[in-house]
Amino acid sequence: MPLGERYSGDKSESRYCGVETEFDDDMPNLLSFNIHGGFDFVLATLMDPNYRPSQVDEDTIRSRALPFAGSDLVLSPSQWSSHVVGKISSWIDLDSEDVTLRKDSEIALKQELAWASHLSLQACLLPTPKGTSCANYAKCLNQILQNLGSMQLWLRIPLEKSENDEEARNPEYMGEGHTDSWELWNSFRLLCEHHSQLAVALDILSSLPSASSVGRWFGEPVRAAIVNTNSFLTNARGYPCLSKRHQRLTTAFFDHSIQVVISGRPVHNVPAGPTGANADDHVEGGWRHPLKAYLDYIAFLYQKMDPFPEQERFELGYRDYLQSPLQPLMDNLEAQTYETFEKDTVKYSQYQRAVAKALVDRVPDENASAVTTVLMVVGAGRGPLVRASLQAAEETERKLKIYAVEKNPNAVVTLHSLVKLEGWEDIVTIVSSDMRNWDAPERADILVSELLGSFGDNELSPECLDGAQRFLKEDGISIPSSYTSFIQPVTACKLYNDIKSHKDLVHFETAYVVKLHRVARVAHTQPVFTFTHPEYSAKSTNQRYKKLHFDIPSDTGSTLIHGFAGYFDATLYKDVHLGIEPSTATPNMFSWFPIFFPLRTPICVQPGTPLEVHFWRCCGSTKVWYEWCVTSPSASPIHNTNGRSYWVGL
């Protein structure tokens, strides 16, 4: 039975909790025992742990009778695929110095994974690499991955402290030769070429690394968190519970669709009687699963999570989904795109506030009834900024004359209908033209636009407003008045693999709009390019270049950078701003998702080593594009040279 639901449409895999079991050759009984005990699936060893290929006699090998497993008929295909995650024998050591053990391990790994694939299991748990070298293990697994089908492989990795974590300096914790377990995973996945079917199952121990160190894992393909009963504390009533840090981590796992698996024997003497509101679930004749108290606690953590706010529900389907950025000058937007933008009431309320402040500054109270302010909305779309400006005029009791300039002839049709419907004919003049080519009959007091992209200038707001600036009065006001782009390095394994699946250069040199979710933000954002409007400098150019240095916190440990998340922050007017830069993001605004600049080859950054990044904004006669690269700790190619893969058309 799932842990619960956060809202009616919750389809997250993290609703399902599994249990790690001992080997049992009676699989139907093992499954029934645990499913009736409330668990959704079992993490079960498929083969007899005493089996070793080298101990099988020659005649058996020649007859191809494999003595290591029972029949696939003991469960239905749907039971195998829905309720069983296979567990590869833990004795396997493919990098052992013992030749016999190594050969046995290689044969057993291939046999067990072939059997798991035959059973149509969705996933199989691989044992943790033993020792510091895992090259032969990775080599054997990589061969298997080439012809595996759709099954996921979860590599078991302990969530251990890195050497740079101050808490990890405790000699009682750190054994000889202790290394960061993330390094073990990173080495393994690099040897396996970032294969998309290779994932992680984290062993959660009683002691956790620093928050920065743990944070790395949310950009990795973690599918399960195995929580041992030894990691649970005991509350005042004698029931198992988790520390505050473990609680926060578990909740974060739920939010990232990471399934919890309970492992180990019960170590709490749970008092007799119900353990909670659902204590009688799966109780037959007084029988309770010995790990039910642990399952109930995990369910309690899931159920007490706040429900998704409306904005997050809207964004759920877009999480980690790569989208090409809009080309607003080259392409005419569709009605559906306009409709999505127009639903963002927060954005337009900010614009209304900015216009209201500008009107009050422009026209003193004593002149309010005598002076008419000329306001031009450039890129009017279907009219939301026109409406916001008129509401600002009504609120401040100022008189307005509006020019609504729009190049999309389809949107102009809707604008004419809106003006007629609202009775704005005496106030609003519709202009069907590109703002860069329009010859305005008079100059504007206020110029309003919503040409901002996820990276601020990536939808060519600078070029458009430069073209429209000629019909703004010298003391006129531009809304927005300035905007700045920001980037930060991220671990984003899923995005990297999605881009890699295209098997070409173009996709690695394209910037994507994406609702970032399964990413690890490993350093604070830094500003990149700033544009100010109006810009009257004779030497102004929209080309830009910026070199940035990022310091990864030392207690993070090593990390792999797959690319850069991009954001913007805009000043509309004076203290009215809007943006998506995480530390200053406008609450409940969903018009913009971040932008993602990938790296063709991920860069590994060691603790204490700065990451040096270069970004260029380049301008040609027909297009604008970005180029980017890393020069430290190692050099990457310069991406998107001459805009060969990605550009925005003028």
- Cite the active site residues: 450, 459
Q: Which of 197, 192, 163 is nearest to 179 (CA)?
A: 163
Instruction: Say if CB 441 and CB 472 are below 8 A apart.
Output: no
3-state helix, strand and coil shares in percent for the chain, rounded to the nearest 5:
30, 25, 40
Task: Provide the β-strand partners of residue 549.
Answer: 612
Backbone phi, then psi, for 515, in 5-degree steps?
A: -80, 100
Residue listed under structure tokens 């603790």? 607
Task: Establish whether 406 is an annotated binding residue.
Answer: yes
Q: What is the sign, positive or negative, of the torsion defined by CA atoms of 535, 537, 538, 539? A: negative
Whole-angstrom distance, CA of residue 568 vs CA of residue 580: 6
Task: Establish whether 434 is an annotated binding residue.
Answer: yes
Tell me, letter by letter, the H, E, C secondary structure of 565-618: EEEEEEEEECCEEEECCCCCCCCCCCCCCCEEEEEEEEEEECCCCCEEEEEEEE
Q: Which of 353, 408, 338, 599 is nearest to 490 (CA)?
A: 599
The two structure tokens encoding residue 311: 């904005």
Whole-angstrom distance, CA of residue 293 vs CA of residue 185: 32
Whole-angstrom distance, CA of residue 528 vs CA of residue 605: 21
Between the CA of residue 640 and those of 188, 489, 511, 543, 646, what are the distances in Å? 30, 18, 10, 15, 7
* Identity of residue 619: C
Task: Establish whether 51 is an annotated binding residue.
Answer: no
Task: Establish whether 7 is an annotated binding residue.
Answer: no
Which stretches of 51-107 are assigned E, i.e. beta strand? 84-87
Instruction: Say if CB 560 and CB 602 are below 8 A apart.
Output: yes
Q: Is 390 helix (H, G, I), strand (E, B) or coil?
A: helix
Residue 414's Cβ-count burial label (10 Å; 0-12, 13-18, 19+) is middle
Whole-angstrom distance, CA of residue 358 vs CA of residue 573: 7
Summarize the annotated binding site as residue ranges.
Answer: 338, 347-348, 406, 434-435
Summarize the annotated binding site for S-adenosyl-L-methionine as residue ranges.
Answer: 338, 347-348, 406, 434-435
